[in-house]
Chains A and B, each alone.
Chain A
Amino acid sequence: MGRYLTDIHSTMLRTVVLRSLAGLAVIFGVVTLMFFLIRLAPGDPALLLVGPTATEEQLAAQREALGLDRPLPEQYAAWLGRFVRGDWGSSIATGRPVRAMISAAWPATVSLVGLSLLLSYLIGILVGAIQAMRGGRLDTALSVVTVTLFAVPGYWLGLMLVMVFTYWARALPAFGAAGLDADFLTGWDQVADRLRHLALPLTTLTLIGVGGTARYVRGAMLDVRNAPHVAIARAKGLSPLQVSMRHVLRNALIPVLTLLGLSLPALFSGAVFIEAIFAWPGVGRIMVEAVGARDYPVIMAATAVSAMLVVVGNLLADALTAWADPRLRVAEHSGGAV
């Protein structure tokens, strides 16, 4: 059995290594694609920097200073070398170091996306499970709600919430992650201020996620309901609730966890719009601003960071799936029994 466990562990290790390498390849591919796309597109950051009244010589000097006069492959090699070593350069538009900008921004994005992911899955699983277990009119009514949420564009829902809660009820702030007076607040007041700013963007992102998750959980549970093992559980005399919770929901959650990994890119995409609406100081807003200013170093760094976040999120979702599905972690429990 010791030999068996070693084998299992080496297989798992190999899977983890292979998946990580594939993830690295994706990140590398994304940044390479972006590098050439933004340079092949029209638009010149040097021109934006020196302004339309500059002379040809000034423009050429600025391009040389930014390294934009050299051949593309050379620029790419130089950029990649510096990027891997952690030298991400400075913003062309503002002169700030890119790493400082990104490290200030990514916690805001991760906390917004992470919290909304958690909430939308909790609520979505609950709603989907209730629909599948109850059926009938409640199911139909909730289906109308979930399909509507599934169809609502995040930025519009955000606007509607701002209209109701900020302009009409005057209850919640619509912009930024903290109030202007945040630095003067202490203890709980500061926490409360943060939470109030988080409320609208988080609600928006969560609500649009709930629709898709609930629809998926409902479908997966209805599929599992007719599986043989569920019939056996019923025949054993388990109560309907026990059957639903232990045998249907648990098995239905496995594809849902896979969906979690697959939905991450979409969630980050959604977050870009939400950050733009609510002026949330995250990577998405930096990206939108940098794209407008042709700020190459910032676009590249923001792209690389969002690709990394997506890849890491996918690996985590895979790990969760392995944890939830006993068939994928034979090493710990059933090793002796098989």
Chain B
Amino acid sequence: MGGSLFHDSRARFGLSVLVLAVLFALLAPLVAADPSVQRDIVATRFLPPLSTDLHGSFHLLGTDRFGRDVWARLVYGARVSLGVGILAVLLSVAIGLAVGAAAGFWQGRIGLVLLGLTDFALALPRVVLLLLLASLWQPSAALVIVVLGLTGWMTIARLVHSEVRTLAARPFVESAVALGVNGPRVLMRHILPNALTPVIVAAALGVGNAIMLEAGLSFLGLGVQPPTPSWGNLIASGRDTLVNAPWVATAPGVTLVLVVVAATLLGDAVRDQLDPASRRVSG
């Protein structure tokens, strides 16, 4: 099955882009100069892409109004944006797994309360909540992770809930119960491992979404605070210089779109692999 995933061009594209992005983020100090080192602002500001400044250093994507190298800020920003996106989704997955599994396994009153909670949380206007939470407390990367995690678990809870309900009625689970295995252990050992595949797909799609939302918050000044670069505040910093330095806002935006497209395509491909019905129609 892993082999056939590599025959899917969407999966190949998605994986390559994501691996490249993560590699660049991890190896940032090797592929770019440290953007926090401030040098000669007047001589290096607003240089267009592919130019060399008076000091002889090359700027692949040009420089911004403070003479900072856009490529370096982009690569160091990838650390923040990818990190925030991935950690936020991990938090969502943890909450969603707990709520969904409990609601699906203990279907009585607990299940009803948890499902009601999930539906209520789904009906909340997410960005309104994000705006409030992010603006009322001191904005930081950690706050963005918590806020995105706390507002993104509902779809995962619903997926896990329906999986667990179906699995709980399967013979192998019933036999485990009949053998005297206690409830939580049945859930952890026999049900959850079998319910994980749709969660992985949802998580892949969720990472793209979380990166976009982080960028949105940072764009409004409510997320990661400058001078720490994130793709969102890079776009925001390019907003004022759209006329004389359009590359400052364009480069992080294109990168963001590429990464989100990659996560989406990878998620699509994995879903089609796991679901024979949709493989039949899309093949």
Chain A residues with CB under 8 Å of B212's CB are 151, 153
The number of chain A residues with a CB under 8 A from chain B is: 48
Is A186 in contact with chain B by the CB < 8 A criterion? no
CA distance A249 to B133 in the complex (A): 42
With A162-B242, A265-B124, A310-B123 in contact, do A222 and B261 touch (Cβ < 8 Å)? no
User: Which residues of B sit under 8 angstroms from A26, Cβ to Cβ?
Assistant: 120, 123
Q: How far is the CA of A270 from the CA of B125 in the complex (A)?
A: 10
Q: Given the complex, which residues of B lie within 8 Å of A151, measured CB to CB? A: 208, 212, 256-257, 260-261, 264
- Cα distance A268–B164 when bound, in Å? 32
Is B126 within 8 A of A269, CB to CB?
A: yes
Interface flags, A20-40, vs B, CB<8A=1, else 0: 000000100110011001100
- Known pairs A42-B136, A265-B124; A153 contacts B256 (CB<8 A): yes
The distance from the CB of A134 to the nearest CB of chain B, in whole angstroms, is: 14
Q: Which of A149-172 contact B (CB under 8 A)?
A: 150-153, 155-156, 159-160, 162-163, 167
Chain B residues whose C-beta falls within 8 Å of the C-beta of A12 in the assembled complex? none
Residue numbers in A under 8 Å from B109 (CB-CB): none
Q: Which residues of B (167-212) have their CB < 8 Å from a CB of A?
A: 208, 212
Q: Is the CB of A163 within 8 A of B278?
A: no
Q: Do residues B265 and A147 form an inter-chain contact, with CB atoms below 8 A?
A: yes
- What residues on B are CB-neighbors of A34 within 8 Å? 132
Is the Cβ of B220 less than 8 Å from the Cβ of A273?
yes
Q: List residues of chain B with CB within 8 A of the CB of A299.
A: 132
| Interface contact A222-B127, CB-CB below 8 Å | no
Our pick among B136, B138, B235, B278 for the contact of A219 (Cβ within 8 Å) is: B278
Quick check: B261 and A148 within 8 Å, CB to CB? yes
Residue A243 lies at the interface, judged by CB distance under 8 Å to chain B = no
**A222 to B272 alpha-carbon distance, docked (Å):** 13
User: How many pairs of residues, A versus B, come closer than 8 Å at their CB atoms?
Assistant: 125
User: Is the CB of B1 closer than 8 A to any CB of chain A?
Assistant: no
**Min distance, Cβ B241 to any Cβ of chain A, angstroms:** 10
Provide the A113-154 mask, 1 if CB < 8 A to any CB of B, else 0: 000000000000000000000000000000000011011110
**Within 8 Å of chain B (Cβ to Cβ): is A276?**
yes
Q: Flag whether B107 is at the interface (Cβ < 8 A).
A: no
Question: Chain A CB within 10 Å — which of B120, B137, B257, B282 has the most?
Answer: B257
| Interface residue? B165 (CB, 8 A) | no
The number of chain B residues touching the other chain, given as a range, is: 35 or more
Considering the chains assembled together, what is the distance between the CA atoms of A26 and B137 in angstroms? 25
Q: Which residues of A contact B125 (CB under 8 A)?
A: 30, 265, 268-269, 303, 306-307, 310
A298 at the interface (CB under 8 A from B): no
Of B28-36, B46-54, B85-93, B243-251, the one touching chain A? B243-251
Q: Is the beta-carbon distance between A37 and B133 smaller than 8 angstroms?
A: yes
Chain B residues lying within 8 Å of A276, measured Cβ to Cβ, are 220
Chain B residues, CB < 8 A from A269: 125-128
CA separation between A42 and B188, bound complex, in Å? 40
Q: Which of B126, B243, B253 contacts A266 (CB 8 A)?
A: B126
Inside 8 A of A155's CB, which chain B residues have their CB?
Answer: 216, 219, 235
- Nearest chain B CB to A222's CB is how many angstroms away? 4
Tell whether, in the assembled complex, residue A153 and residue B220 are in contact, meaning their CB atoms are under 8 Å apart.
no
Minimum distance in angstroms from A306 CB to a CB of chain B:
5
Please give, as numbers and ranges, the residues of chain A lying within 8 Å of B260 by CB-CB distance. 151
- Contact status of A223 and B278, CB under 8 A, knowing A155-B219, A291-B135, A310-B125: yes
Query: Most chain-B CB neighbours within 10 Å: which of A269, A292, A303?
Result: A269
Interface assignment of A43: CB less than 8 Å from any CB of chain B: yes
Could you tell me if B126 and A38 are in contact, using CB atoms closer than 8 angstroms? Answer: no
Residues of B within 8 A of A265 (CB): 122-126
Nearest 4 A/B pairs, CB to CB? A269-B127, A41-B136, A151-B260, A156-B253
Q: Residues of A with Cβ closer than 8 Å to B? A: 26, 29-30, 33-34, 37-38, 41-43, 147-148, 150-153, 155-156, 159-160, 162-163, 167, 219, 222-223, 225-226, 265-266, 268-270, 272-273, 276, 287-288, 291-292, 294, 299, 303, 306-307, 310-311, 314
Where the two chains meet, the residues of B that have a C-beta atom closer than 8 Å to any C-beta of A are 120, 122-128, 131-133, 135-138, 208, 212, 215-216, 219-220, 235, 238-239, 242-243, 246, 249-250, 253, 256-257, 260-261, 264-265, 277-278, 280-282
| Known contacts A269-B125, A287-B131; 14 further A-B pairs (Cβ under 8 A) | A43-B136, A147-B264, A153-B257, A155-B216, A155-B235, A156-B256, A156-B257, A159-B242, A167-B243, A223-B277, A225-B281, A265-B122, A272-B127, A306-B128
Q: What are 18 A-to-B residue pairs whose CB atoms are below 8 Å?
A: A37-B132, A41-B132, A42-B137, A151-B212, A153-B219, A153-B253, A156-B219, A156-B235, A156-B253, A156-B256, A163-B249, A167-B243, A226-B280, A265-B123, A303-B125, A303-B128, A306-B128, A307-B125
